Amino acid sequence: MKPDPVIEALLSTLAADPGNHPVRVHVARLLLDAGSPADALTHATTVLAAEPDNLAALRVAAAAAGATGDAAKAASYGRLADALAPEPATPEPPAAALAAGVPDTADEILQQWQTSPAAAEPEIGALGAAGITLEDVGGLAEVKKRLNLSFLAPLRNPELRVRFGKSLRGGLLLWGPPGCGKTLIARALAGELGASFYEIGLSDVLDMWIGSSERNLRGIFDTARRNRPCLLFFDEMDALGQKRSNLRAGGVSMRGVVNQMLAELDGASTDNEGVFVLAASNHPWDIDSALLRPGRFDRTILVPPPDLAAREAILRFHLRGRPTERLNLAKIAKATEGMSGADLGLLCEQGTETAMDASMTTGQFQPITQQHLEEAARSVRPSIGEWLEVARNYALYGNDAGAYDELAAYLKKRRR
């Protein structure tokens, strides 16, 4: 197979972040479309080893196994996928109806075109109401303060903003370890602004065909402008906006994506008033420096692992609606320092499973107890250790311009 620049770029992203399952599923789908079903199956099964209920990975695995000639394995993956989300059956039209619909002359073709409905534009990303505000996000007082200074205070005080010459142009980059709530904070900020929340994932932009990724990006910004006020949120910005110096000569497509992103952010030929652009990244050191210049993603905020108040709020959120005895969540929150929001969610799941197992073993219903959660807290290991090791090197040895001062302060506080 001829190397594809998009696939090559995504593979380099996976080399730096092997646990990024959405990117790996997207790579598997692109490899399948590019005629490499064996490689696609390898990536899909890697995701399934960690997330057996990943529907997208199951669908790709079924198609890839079928393409490699392993019908039994394809049927097995297909049954698992259908059990999670059955695909509606599409009845085949009768042969007579097909024959009747085939035009015989050019005039009949033109007549069909005139009477048939126009093709619907494909929907890109997820656009809707935010549904939450910053009050729904527990803890993270310093992050909320920075968001208030960067976006909310200037917007709510237009006269003062004009007097001080404060511009609302430019974007905001939320960065930090995975699973710590960057998407939740972006959604809450959209709620504070009273704006629509337009969430864009990596697969919504990148396409293997030349020029398609840039066209997708232009369409995304046009959609945001039509729905202003709108908060446009890009996830995985380190994959979308990779440093162009790191791309090999064949990476023309990825270079085009970065250039198109720069053009849309600058808004030289468009009006971005009322469009608030946010992005999230686990690896900001991999983002092209041009994207971090003034007028683009010129403000950056570290979203660290949840603090004590945030951990207690996250635990309470995950346990809502579940049968529990009287719990001391503050004690559990104190014992889980360094855990991400995703880790805390896993803790609650394990505590729930222990309570269910006890109920089935004894034949008597048992709610989730303090002991169940404390045992789960001891068994769950923080998932951000590898990220912290990499980030610490940048804070110590790559912080000449002060880009990682927030991280250095957090690491210093963490050592106390």
Give the model confidence (pLDDT) of 399-410 as tens digits. 887 888 888 888
Statement: the pTM of the whole predicted model exceeds 0.75: no
pLDDT exceeds cutoff 50 at 121: no
Give the model confidence (pLDDT) of 285-344 as tens digits: 988 888 888 778 888 899 999 989 889 999 998 999 899 999 999 999 999 998 999 999
Give 111's pLDDT tier (boundaries 50, 70, 90).
Answer: low
- Residue 397: partners with Cβ closer than 8 Å, 6 or more residues away: none
Mean pLDDT computed over 269-290: 84
pLDDT exceeds cutoff 50 at 77: yes
Give 349's pLDDT tier (boundaries 50, 70, 90).
Answer: very high
pLDDT at 97: 46
The per-residue pLDDT of the chain, averaged, comes to 81
pLDDT at 106: 54
pLDDT at 95: 52
More confident residue, 71 or 169: 71
Give 109's pLDDT tier (boundaries 50, 70, 90).
Answer: low
Q: CA torsion 118→204→270→165, rounded to 10°?
A: 150
Contact by Cβ (8 Å): 42, 68: no
Highest mean pLDDT among 53-67, 160-174, 272-286, 356-370: 356-370
Give 249's pLDDT tier (boundaries 50, 70, 90).
Answer: very low
Exposure string for 154-187, b = 16+ CB within 10 A, e = fewer: bbeeeeeeeeeeeeeebbbbbbbbbbbbbbbbbb
Burial of 135 (0-12, 13-18, 19+ CB in 10 A): exposed
What does the DSSP assignment read for 97-121? HHHHTS--SHHHHHHHHHHSPPPPP
Among residues of the chain, what percentage have pLDDT more than 90?
A: 20
In whole angstroms, give the CA distance from residue 261 to residue 236.
14
Give 45's pLDDT tier (boundaries 50, 70, 90).
Answer: confident
Pick the range with the lowest mean pLDDT from 111-125, 137-151, 256-270, 343-357. Answer: 111-125
pLDDT at 107: 60
pLDDT at 2: 58
Highest mean pLDDT among 4-13, 69-78, 354-363: 354-363
Complete domains list, the chain, with CATH: 5-84 (1.25.40.10), 126-302 (3.40.50.300), 308-379 (1.10.8.60), 385-415 (no CATH)
In whole angstroms, give the CA distance from residue 109 to residue 336.
67
